[in-house]
Structures are given as C-alpha cells and as structure tokens.
Amino acid sequence: MRVKNQSAIPDDASPLVRRLGKAVLLTSEEVDYLETMQVNQAAIARGDSFVQDGEPLRVTFLVRQGWVIRYRVTPEGRRLIIGVSLPGDFIGLHVNFNHTSIFTAAALTNVSLALIDPVRILEIHRRFPVLASGLDWMTVRHSNILAEHKVSLGARTAAQRILHFLLELWVRLEQVGLATDKGFELELTQEQIGDCMGLSTVHVNRSLSRLTKEKLIQNDKGMMTFPQLKRAIAFADFDQRFLMDFSAISGTPNLKGRTVRN
C-alpha cells in the first residue's frame, strides 16, 4: 500500500520532489531515490553554456536552482530561445534516444545542476512504475508547452504572446514553490523575451508598455505581478490545462481558485 505524499515529502525537498509530489503519491523510498540521484552536482555561472548544439549529450541534467535557456543560432547568426528550464525541470530526460544535442543550453542566472546517469532514469521505470508515469507526464507537459508556444507564434499578437508567456512562467514557478500568489521574480531581459517569442526588442518594449498601461502586468524592480488577473487571462487566451500536472484528480485548481476540468 502506497504512503500518502503529504507524509513522505520533507519540507526541504528538492523542486523535482515537490513537483512530482503534487502529482504522484510518493513513498519514502521513492523520495529517497529521487534525492540521492541528484548527489552529483555542478555549479554553472550566469552566461556559461554546458550543452553545445551538435555535441554528445551523455547525461541527463536536472535544474535544481536558477534559470536555464535552451537555444539555437541560425546560419545568419540570430538566436532563437526554444525553451526556458526552471528548477525541477529535466534537460535531456531521454538522452538514450538522442545521442547528440540539437540545442545549446546556457545558464541565464547562476545555476545548480544535478548530473544524472541515464541508467538511473531507466531504473525508475523498472522499480517505480507509478513514479515513472509522473516522469513520462513531464515529457508530455514539455511537448504541451512547445505546442502552446507555436500557437502563440502563429495566432496571437505580440502583446498576447508575451503576456501568455509570463503567465506560464508564473504557474510553473508556483508549482515548485518559487513564486507567490501575486507574482514572481522575472529573470529575462526584454531582448531574451524577444528571442523566446520571435520579436524584436523594440516590439517587446512597446508591448510591455501597453500591457503595463492597461494594468495587465506590473514590473516592480523585476517582480512581475498581474494587477487584473482575470482580464490578463482573458486577454492572453491563457488556458492553464497545458500545464496541468499528472494526476488522477478530476478537478485541478487554476489561478486564483479558478478550476479546469479534465
């Protein structure tokens, strides 16, 4: 019989355990396994890259602290950020299926990484099938995020896609206890937001100014908040279902107590 996650997860649990603990009823054995597989750690300074496009990707990285960007550089020299990895996120979760990297990964802030042998991931599937389902859902969730970004690029205005992206970051950080119910510390510059959203810095600046003027966002020395949240959600066409954690529960809490149904 499995132990309820409330009794198995300590207060100082890693972001990965906190995230999975909201989705799966973790046993103490599973918590211990997840924590011990993170013992091999590396500190990456802001701006340094640790994965190079085209080079072998031999370990799975887990972000423990800080923000990481994954990007490609076009032949013309333009950088496109294809993803922002936050604490509790894997980079190269299934490296055994991809022998070389198709992106460069760099530390957006000072970052702490866990370097995990892919065998440890495979062991989870052998020993802890329910926990493995949670990991598989994280892969699905990653695909959902990429799909939602594609929708933004093709069907949303610049202001809408930026606001949608900011709301996404807030939810993801809140899920691992790194944001408040008001907002979060934004680590991206306007140029980096543009590289994520396919926009020029000038266009990002104008869009942020519009969102601020309309009281859909407020940036106070890097603290991003949403003064009129319901309007912000409606304006951005933000449907939180693409970020839902793996769960057998039929109703999942949404922003500010709103509820979505499976």
Q: What is the pLDDT of residue 23?
A: 74
Of 253 and 104, more confident: 104
154-177 per-position pLDDT tens digit: 999 999 999 999 999 999 999 888
Q: What is the pLDDT of residue 8?
A: 60
**DSSP assignment of 152-216:** HHHHS-HHHHHHHHHHHHHHHHHHTT-S-SSEEE----HHHHHHHHT--HHHHHHHHHHHHHTTS
d(CA 51, CA 182): 34
Q: What is the pLDDT of residue 224?
A: 98
Using the predicted structure, report yes or no on whether residue 217 has a pLDDT greater than 90: yes
Q: What is the pLDDT of residue 115?
A: 97
Closest CA relative to residue 232, chosen from 204, 209, 255: 255
What's the whole-model pTM score?
0.87
Under a CB-based contact definition with an 8 Å cutoff, are residues 140 and 93 in contact? no
Topology of 156-262 in CATH?
Arc Repressor Mutant, subunit A (1.10.10)
d(CA 155, CA 22): 32
Q: What is the pLDDT of residue 235?
A: 97
Query: pLDDT grade, residue 258 (50/70/90)?
Result: very low
Using the predicted structure, report yes or no on whether residue 48 has a pLDDT greater than 60: yes
172-205 per-position pLDDT tens digit: 999 888 999 999 999 999 999 999 999 999 999 9
- Residue 249's alpha-carbon distances to 22, 88, 254, in angstroms, are 11, 22, 13
Under a CB-based contact definition with an 8 Å cutoff, are residues 204 and 189 in contact? no
**205: amino acid identity, one letter:** N
Q: What is the pLDDT of residue 2?
A: 38
10-47 per-position pLDDT tens digit: 878 999 998 888 777 888 899 999 999 999 999 999 99
Q: If residue 133 lies in a helix (H) or strand (E), which one and from where to where?
A: helix 129-155
CA 28, distance to chain mean position in Å, is 25
Under a CB-based contact definition with an 8 Å cutoff, are residues 220 and 186 in contact? no
Q: What is the pLDDT of residue 245?
A: 56
Percentage with pLDDT > 70 across the chain: 88
Q: What is the pLDDT of residue 247?
A: 52
Q: What is the pLDDT of residue 98?
A: 60
87-133 per-position pLDDT tens digit: 999 998 877 666 789 999 999 999 999 999 989 998 998 999 888 88
Domain residue spans in the chain?
Answer: 156-262
Q: What is the pLDDT of residue 33?
A: 94
